[in-house]
Amino acid sequence: MSEKVGKENVKKSHKKLIIILIIFAVLALVFVIFGIPYIKRHFIEKEVDLSKALNIKSVDLNSIKDDNKILIVEFTYAENAGLLENVDAVSGASLMVNHNDELQGDRIIGNCELLADMISVSVGDCDRLAILTEKKYPDTYSGTIAEAKKELDNDEKVKLISKMPDLTQYDTVFIVYPLWWGTIPKAVESFVEDAEFRHSKSDPQYVFAVVSHGGSGKAGSIADLEKSAGIKISGPVLEIFDDDTTEAKDAVYEWLKDIRESEHTPS
């Protein structure tokens, strides 16, 4: 009798052990899938070596048009969050600190800024424009997520302090932006709503888009961009996952080559 009770107790404790092991395995899996990306996004400082990241091959876009006048527009969190005096405290998916810049020392670079830099190094002669907002976004990732949600919910027209260039003078325009809440940031919406694109059949203008994202790709942002800007995006959209930004030069090069070699819809 007592031997039977003893065996049952062993069975029970085996069962308990298996249940504990299963719970532990599930928790470990949840941590790997959600915890590690969360920690990386919120707490880990990313580094970039600009001399490597920007070592991109050149692509001559004069094949699209002789004397192709090019503008690269970027919107990036890092340039709009008042972080620059506080480099050591910085962490988050969209920020990189360049520790190898002899001229400028440590420098915070947003993902979209770095992608715009890659395009600019590759295509050569071009103008640059950073979309800058009047307000500064919070210096935390979660605070910015909340602020962006509020902007969306209130359909806010975000005020810009960057000067609007005469966009009609450009033959090719690149717009580089981060995906925010599955769409274009409200600051980008403000910019393209106020921008005057060329809209000329005899002298076409081409507008290309680069989307930096945390896993959702371009989502519905292209349709929203086209609607707000009143244009068509001319060719394939380049989507870069935020964690891959520092290594994106080959993807950027291939995409630019594709632009150089294919026919595109004027905007």
Ligand X SMILES: Cc1cc2nc3c(=O)[nH]c(=O)nc-3n(C[C@H](O)[C@H](O)[C@H](O)COP(=O)(O)O)c2cc1C
**Residue 79 in tokens:** 């340039």
Q: What whole-number distance in Å separates Cα of residue 214 and Cα of residue 242?
A: 5
Determine, following the binding rule CB under 6 A, whether residue 192 of this chain makes contact with ligand X.
Answer: no
Determine, following the binding rule CB under 6 A, whether residue 72 of this chain makes contact with ligand X.
Answer: no
Confirm if 173 and 234 have CB atoms less than 8 A apart: no
Q: What whole-number distance in Å separates Cα of residue 23 and Cα of residue 255?
A: 45
Window contacting ligand X (CB under 6 A); options: 50-58, 59-67, 106-114, 196-204: 106-114
Determine, following the binding rule CB under 6 A, whether residue 122 of this chain makes contact with ligand X.
Answer: no
Q: What whole-number distance in Å separates Cα of residue 109 and Cα of residue 78?
A: 6
Q: What is the DSSP letter of 34?
A: I
Beta strands, E only, the chain: 46-47, 70-74, 95-98, 107-110, 127-130, 172-178, 206-213, 238-241
154 versus 202: smaller Cβ distance to ligand X: 154
- Residue 113 C-beta: closest distance to ligand X, Å: 6
Residues 12-71 contacting ligand X, CB under 6 A: none
65 versus 237: smaller Cβ distance to ligand X: 237
Determine, following the binding rule CB under 6 A, whether residue 132 of this chain makes contact with ligand X.
Answer: no
Amino acid at site 24: F
Among 64, 93, 119, 259, binds ligand X (CB under 6 A): 93
**Residue 104 in tokens:** 């400028």
Residues 208-227 contacting ligand X, CB under 6 A: 212-216
Window contacting ligand X (CB under 6 A); options: 110-118, 187-195, 202-210, 228-236: 110-118
Phi, psi of 2 (to 5 degrees): -65, -30
Window contacting ligand X (CB under 6 A); options: 9-17, 43-51, 160-168, 178-186: 178-186
Binding site residues, ligand X, CB under 6 A: 76-78, 93-94, 110-112, 144-145, 148, 178-182, 212-216, 242
